[in-house]
Structure 1
Amino acid sequence: MYFQLKSYLTFLFRSQNQHGLHSPFVYDLVTKCFYDRSDYKDYKLIKNYRNDLLSNKDQIEVKDFGAGSRVFKSNLRPVFSIAKNAGITLHRAKLLYRITNYLNIKNALELGTSLGIASSAIASNRTTQLITVEGCEETARIARQQIKKYDLNNIQLIKAQFETAISQLSSNIEQQTTNNKPQTSEKFDLIYFDGNHQKQATLDYFSKLLPTAHNNSVFIFDDIHWSPEMEEAWEEIKSNPKVQVTIDNFQWGLVFFRKEQAKQHFTIRV
């Protein structure tokens, strides 16, 4: 907890708002998306989806992968408590929806479905096709129920460990490259990394999924200030030669690959 407080104070000291942004792309993203105060009709679905989970008192047995939980001491957890403490906040869910909408995301991948709150934010824009991966059987079961209840037919939920799902995607890319086939079916406009908050795992996922990005893709990493090693992972990602623009908004790290952009790193309050 002390580490995160120190990190947040450092973030506040370094951060800025839209003023002084010398990148037109980032300035427009911040002013027209991050700071957009419009009341989108799709917010209602996201809010109802989340509130539904917050009223669910059923207990499920959760299998944690990666760094585990700082909140829960037992693997037997009430659904409402998972939604409240481990799920994305409504504020963040709305921001994720706006990013998906603003960047015109068509094909998205999510690592870490949990109960599917972030999934609903991405897929509320019905033109977006989302593949979401969850390793825990019970949370995946609840997410499937919710996805079906809210008719989010543009979500494909895969129950598998991240390594298995990523290996399959990487294998498809390699096969297409070998056969000189178009790779559009395996390119993602957005990848949302929300699970296994450990340095090496994060870097491995990033490295293996890099071939699935195109010039206008965005990768979003959750909890980049979770721990010293997650901050180290974030610094390594920023230094990757294929990464051109990054935005640190404390909770998330956004990565862009736009070759036409000068390499720049931003720390922005949202």
Structure 2
Amino acid sequence: MKSDHEVIDLFDLKTKKSYRKTVSSIAKTSLSTPKFSSFLYKLIEWLDVERVMETGTSLGINTLYMAGPEKVKRVLSIEASPIISSIAQKQFSKLLQHKIEIKQGTIHEVFAPILIKEQPELCFIDADHRSHAVNSCIESIMTHNKAIKCIIIHDIYWSPDMLKAWKQIISDTRFKLTVDIFQAGLIFPKMEMPKQHFTLRF
């Protein structure tokens, strides 16, 4: 993907503007490190998760890592861009397609209905990097999903707004265990323990 120079037309839902980028430029700026993607794999394996939900498919690399553990039966990924969805789908057709499904739409439109139907045990939030969008996803999860084991918020240091949202999550008494690994914040809503927060060098 980093050597794919195909030019694609994209549309920014926040700014309502069209723009053009190469697949390689998206790959170079959007893909997680192999270390972080491997961490997702190992975390899902450790938690014995069968159903995963992701917002922001992007090129689909993290999606594939999360679908990798043997026990995982289904990964439901939400992506707003049709062209990005099609690129990711090409990757899935080569590997683990039977486990992965992309749902087209914005998180505002489709997150809650899919969440209620799928009841994922792990949610990876990585689409809209604005505090109100993140908070909306978390409230939907806590209200409608009894199966949740872990919520991962990607890019918690993306902006002052995202960091503010993360600090509010840390102080929320509903979440007994939160972990900061810099690239992401982890929430374990069902841990039976005194409230604790950890910051780890990752």
Flag whether TM exceeds 0.5 (same fold): yes
Which of 69, 80, 85 aligns to 1:125? It is 69
What is the number of residues matched between the two proteins? 201
Larger Rg: 1
Give the superposition deviation at 1:67: 8.6
Change (3 A) 1:66 1:265: farther
1:251 corresponds to which residue?
Answer: 183
Find out whether 1:61 has 2:9 as its counterpart: yes
2:56 corresponds to which residue?
Answer: 112
Give the superposition deviation at 1:216: 6.0
1:166 corresponds to which residue?
Answer: 111
Find out whether 1:136 has 2:81 as its counterpart: yes
Residues of 1 paired with 2:93 and 2:183: CA distance? 29
Which of 66, 75, 94 aligns to 2:19? It is 75
Give the superposition deviation at 1:261: 1.2
Matches of residues 138-217 of structure 1 in structure 2 within 5 Å?
138-169=83-114, 173=116, 186-214=118-146, 217=149
AA of the residue aligned to 2:162: M
AA of the residue aligned to 1:120: L
AA of the residue aligned to 1:189: E
AA of the residue aligned to 1:196: D
* Alignment RMSD (CA, Å): 2.2
SS in 2 for 1:250: coil
SS in 1 for 2:52: strand
1:86 corresponds to which residue?
Answer: 30
- TM-score of the pair, normalised by structure 1: 0.69
Give the superposition deviation at 1:239: 2.5
Percent identity of equivalent pairs: 29
Residues of 2 paired with 1:153 and 1:139: CA distance? 19
Residues of 1 paired with 2:148 and 2:137: CA distance? 19
Higher relative contact order, chain-length normalized (CA < 8 Å, sep 6+)? 1
Q: Which runs of 5+ in 2 are unaligned?
A: none
AA of the residue aligned to 2:134: T
- Checking the alignment, whether the CA contact within 8 Å between 2:125 and 2:151 is kept in structure 1 is yes
- Checking the alignment, whether the CA contact within 8 Å between 1:246 and 1:266 is kept in structure 2 is yes
Q: Which runs of 5+ in 1 are unaligned?
A: 1-52, 69-73, 174-184
Higher helix share: 1
AA of the residue aligned to 1:159: Q
Residues of 1 paired with 2:112 and 2:145: CA distance? 15
Give the superposition deviation at 1:89: 1.6
1:4 corresponds to which residue?
Answer: none
Q: State the Cα deviation string for residues 26-60 of structure 1 (Å, max 9, x = none).
A: xxxxxxxxxxxxxxxxxxxxxxxxxxx22322111
Of 103-112 and 55-64, deviating more is 55-64
